Amino acid sequence: MEQSKLEILYQIIINEVDRLAESMPESRLDALGEALYEVDASDTTYTDMRKAFQFAYLKQSKEEKIQANHQLTPDSIGYLISHILGLYNRESFNLLDIGSGSGHLSMTVKEQLNEVNLHGVEIDPSLAQLNVALCEYLKTKMEIYPQNALEDMFIDDMDAVIGDLPIGYYPVEVEGYVTAFEEGMSYAHLLLLERGMQLVKPGGVGVFIVPSNILESHSDTIKTYIKEHVSLKMFLTLPETIFKSKDSGKSIMVLENVKPSEDNRDVLLLKVPDFKNANAIKTFLNDLNNWYDNGENETK
């Protein structure tokens, strides 16, 4: 059976990684980044190029056993985030990916929304370098800031921010964040969510992948933040079938950078159906679109 261009490109990348890994045994992901510079994919579509990288990354991550926070965001979730961003941004817009990792989520958004201008901040130097290589490979421009997102950055007034937020504790105590705990270490995902919204201009939105229990477990600070500083627009519970266990379930939280007192709309609370059920997903997206359109009409 004849191989597709995607399959051929994937195998070329894997072969190059294997060759480079002989002299770079410490990290196959570093070898993957170097391999992207060597691959000629000029006759392949953007989508196939991105997916070839995705599959190659998944293969390396299984062999290297990377930490959970470095796993790629599934395409189904990336496409849904793109759809939400498309509702709020109908023209060219600036997007910040906070904790951008390899940049793959941003590249998924770019595939769906070509007019987006990409920006990313990532503290891990190896992932930031892989992001640079991915941009070169996909011939896609992205401003990448290799630093701690909680430190001062020369970036603001983003139209939107996204983040597949890393789950866990921030290693040091912090001050000046509403979502920080009064004592001890705070949750990194709450701090990054708040930091992301600080960098969004008034009226801009944040679309974050968060633990489904974010408003239940140790939730006082995030509840205060939402009540006093931003408007919660949507909370979409992702299907349990894409996670290893019910306890590891995640949701998409959509926030708007407006004062809660200026927004009287009800929050859209929905369960996302199984992504494999095309009819159910179509109905879900129609419900989401209608909710958005009705809200826009109310404000006119």
Q: Which helix (H) or strand (E) holds 158?
A: strand 158-164
Give residue 270's region: left, alpha or beta (phi > 0; psi -120 to 50).
beta
Check whether 191 has a pLDDT greater than 80: yes
- Compute the distance between CA of residue 270 and CA of residue 237 in angstroms, rounded to an integer: 6
Measured CA to CA, the distance from residue 236 to residue 111 in angstroms comes to: 22
Please name each of the domains of the chain with its CATH number. Answer: 5-66 (no CATH), 73-298 (3.40.50.150)
Cα–Cα distance for residue pair 197/101, rounded to 1 Å = 19
Mean pLDDT of 31-41: 95
At 25, which amino acid appears?
P
Residue 296: helix, strand or coil by DSSP?
Answer: helix
- Strand-pairing partners, residue 231, are 256
Pure H helices in 113-218? 125-138, 188-198
191-214: b (≥16 Cβ within 10 Å) or e: bbbbbbbbbbeeebbbbbbbbbeb
- At 216-252, the pLDDT tens digits run 877 899 999 999 999 999 999 999 888 776 667 999 9
Selection from 117, 191, 190 nearest residue 157 by Cα: 117
Q: Name the residue with higher pLDDT: 242 or 130.
A: 130
Q: Report the mean per-residue pLDDT for the chain.
A: 92
Match 């500083």 to its residue by tokens: 229
Closest CA to 166 of 215, 97, 89: 97
What confidence score (pLDDT) does residue 220 get? 93
Encode pLDDT of 151-189 as tens digits. Answer: 988 888 899 999 999 999 999 889 899 999 988 899 999
